[in-house]
Amino acid sequence: MQNDEVIWQVIRHKHCSFMSKIETGIFCRNPYNVTGICNRSSCPLANSRYATIRDHDGVFYLYMKTIERAHMPNKLWERVKLPRNYEKALEIIDKHLMYWPKFLAHKTKQRLTKMTQMRIRMRKLALKTREKIMTTPRKEKKREARREEKAEKAAVLDKSIERELLERLKKGVYGDAYKDIYNYPFDKYQKVLEGEEMQLDTEREEEEEEPEIEYVEGYDELEEEDDIEDFAGFSIDNSHADDDNDTNFLVSCD
């Protein structure tokens, strides 16, 4: 037979695994404790008749324990889901704890109030955008710094190799047999050639876009046309003069 007083006398002298003693007092880590304080009236182990509120993924449940189910550990707690409305949840608690001790009913309502306020604050904080402070280990920082230094050295080496290759190509060291170069990757070599071609294309486009301005004389053609017109007039006058002479000659012969 279960005796609550015997259980309390056994576990109250530092024989409870849920007991947490600090400077401000003695607290209980049991998730079913309605107040969080280690005392006779709030202990869920030393009370055969007990009630509390628990949260499961944002949903509140009323847990009740009675002496009639003490012999069935798998059905020890009766669980009732509480609505999100605070007033309706209080009505359900009053309905189920109508004939229970007033101290236990009051502490259950007080726990519901605190948990409801906590849920409201969590919802407000979730809507606010706040900066998240992240800490980076010192070893990781050093490792990243060494990697960056190695990457910079490799990049400088690649650039120097490209410049050397460009100089050799301009001097004509390799000639036309550029495919026989094995000391340097062929894709890098092809990339350099494409860069040179693109540069030449851009220079040609710039030359086409900016034509040279030339100045020419604008009266040469007009003077030539005037000379042609004068020559045509002169030929016409000469033809008329020849006709007159011919007619005068015929008249004098008659």
**For the residues of 61-107, what is the DSSP string, one character each?**
EEEEE-GGGTT-GGG-EEEEEPPSSHHHHHHHHHHHTTTS-HHHHHH
Q: What is the pLDDT of residues 89-127, one digit of tens each?
A: 999 999 999 999 999 999 999 999 999 999 999 989 888
Binning pLDDT at 50, 70 and 90, where does residue 250 land?
A: very low
Q: What does CATH list as the number for 1-47?
A: 3.30.390.110
**Dist. CA 182–CA 189, nearest whole Å:** 10
Q: What is the pLDDT of residues 205-228, one digit of tens each?
A: 655 554 555 555 554 554 555 555
Report whether pLDDT(183) > 60.
Answer: no
Residues with Cβ within 8 Å of 32's Cβ and at least 6 positions away in sequence, in order, are 44, 50, 52, 54, 63, 77
Tokens 């404790």 belong to 33
**For the residues of 213-245, what is the DSSP string, one character each?**
P----SSHHHHHHHHHHHHHHHHHHHHHHHHHH
Q: Where are the domains of the chain?
A: 1-47, 51-128, 142-203
> Is 47 strand, coil or helix?
coil
**Residue 233 has what pLDDT?**
52
Q: What angle do CA 57, 74, 69 make, to 5 degrees?
A: 115
Report whether pLDDT(194) > 90.
Answer: no
Q: Look up the pTM and report it.
A: 0.51
The amino acid present at 228, given as its one-letter code, is I
**Residue 114 has what pLDDT?**
94
- Could you tell me which of 114, 93, 116, 115 has the C-alpha nearest to residue 105? 93
Say if strands 59-65 and 50-56 run parallel, antiparallel, or are unpaired: antiparallel
**Residue 179 has what pLDDT?**
46
pLDDT higher for 100 or 248?
100
